[in-house]
Amino acid sequence: MKRKYGFLRLTVILLLLCLTAAAVAQGAGKPVTITMLQPGLEQPNMKQATQKQIDQFEKENPNIKVELITVGWDQAYDKLVNMFQTKTAPDVIYTGTRWVVPFANMKGILPLNKYFPKSKMQQFPKPLMDSEISGGKIYGVPHAFSSKVLFYRSDWIKEPPKTWNELIETAQKVQKEHPGVYGYGAAGAKHVSTTDQFFNVLFSFGGKVFDRSGKCVLNSPQGERALKLYAGFHLDAKIVPSPLEYNREQLPILFKQGKIAMFECGPWAGRMMGLKPDNTEVPYKMALLPAGTEQHCILNSDSLVVSANSKNPAAAWKLIDYLTTLDVQAEYDRDHGLTPILIEEAKMPEFKDDPYFGIFIKAIDNGLPQPQPAIWEPFQDIIANMVQEAFQGVSPKAALAKAVKLIKEQQLEPRR
């Protein structure tokens, strides 16, 4: 009798197990649709490259459909904050890394520690990974990366400047020899690139925006020296065209038109100009950014994150994981003209031995991450205003003091 019931019990358990397995299998096989938002895809030839990779992902993962949507970079931040508020954010978001910590603080995005293996994290340069961390948790995967170098007219400038003082001398020499040409182009418009370009000078004098405790220390002697030099490009040396009108993305155009002889930018500048370095019309070369007391360059990246309201975070992660595998990432960087982001990718001969990309890879060695204020956008406004005031002749000391005061008043110092 006991044996009979034991057999029956075993049969019931097996049956339940089979049913559960079938349900799991069915669940696993159930097609899901996730949405991915990538800003800036309205630009020519931008959408195709991402869409091609998504098509390939869908082919390899037939149960996951990806709907790709876009918005202009100018509206991306507003749109995403609104989406977080209304819990309508897409599953996967391509975002500027500068927004990752603020989005994490807003609880708009998910921590990825559960999905993101250490072995994968180690594939990225450390400064980039540091920018993805908030409160000890990791929120994003770096996806698009740029170091910055100095582009210069190789037919006008034989030896690229190694220090900022040399840059001024070189620029003035070019202006003397080529009337109507400005020696250098600097960003001063209300744009993220104005903060980046100023920080490149600041870092080169050993300056910092926030100290280890998170206190804003921008108004240091180094900060004053950096802002004096940056504003001096326009006020004293007169080597830049109306800086308040231009952001970094407009400088390659001025360069191509022969209006400036040097500018700093990421690797996409070549693609923007549509010119190879050895062209005969506007021949150019690249060099590391000039040094102050030390040589540095800011490392910017965009990241992939998973929205906190995603109903399919596992599928979202699967897409992120796929897009950041070595081959797919390398293809993305090639298509978009970006600095190779993965350490292994940078060792690939097609990047390392490429005369164009080589210098960008070299620039990573002295790269420093972007500052991480509590919220980026008002911080960017304050820094851009500070730079603009300095360009208008306000003393660097006063402009820096005002910026620090506003950063404190608006509680923008990073939370540690």
Residues that bind other proteins (CB under 8 A): 78, 81, 85, 102, 105-107, 188-190, 241-245, 254, 259, 374-375, 377-378, 381, 385, 388-389, 391-392, 410-411, 415
Smallest separation, CB 245 to other proteins (Å): 5
Nearer to other proteins, 42 or 60 (CB): 42
Nearer to other proteins, 105 or 154 (CB): 105
Nearer to other proteins, 232 or 267 (CB): 232
Smallest separation, CB 320 to other proteins (Å): 24
Reduced 3-state DSSP string for 172-216: HHHHHHCCCCECCECCCCCCHHHHHHHHHHHHHCCCCCECCCCCE
Nearer to other proteins, 133 or 254 (CB): 254
Name the residue type at position 160. P
170-176 — which CB contacts under 8 Å span 24+ positions?
170/261, 170/262, 171/237, 171/239, 171/261, 171/262, 172/237, 172/239, 174/261, 174/262, 175/239
Name the residue type at position 47. K
Smallest separation, CB 371 to other proteins (Å): 17
Q: How far apart are CA 358 and CA 75, in angstroms?
A: 34
Smallest separation, CB 394 to other proteins (Å): 9
Contacts of 332 (CB under 8 A, 6+ apart): 49, 50, 53, 143, 144, 323, 338
Smallest separation, CB 315 to other proteins (Å): 27
Nearer to other proteins, 233 or 357 (CB): 233
Name the residue type at position 151. F
User: To 10 degrees, what angle do helices 221-235 and 164-177 make?
Assistant: 0
Smallest separation, CB 385 to other proteins (Å): 5
Nearer to other proteins, 204 or 388 (CB): 388
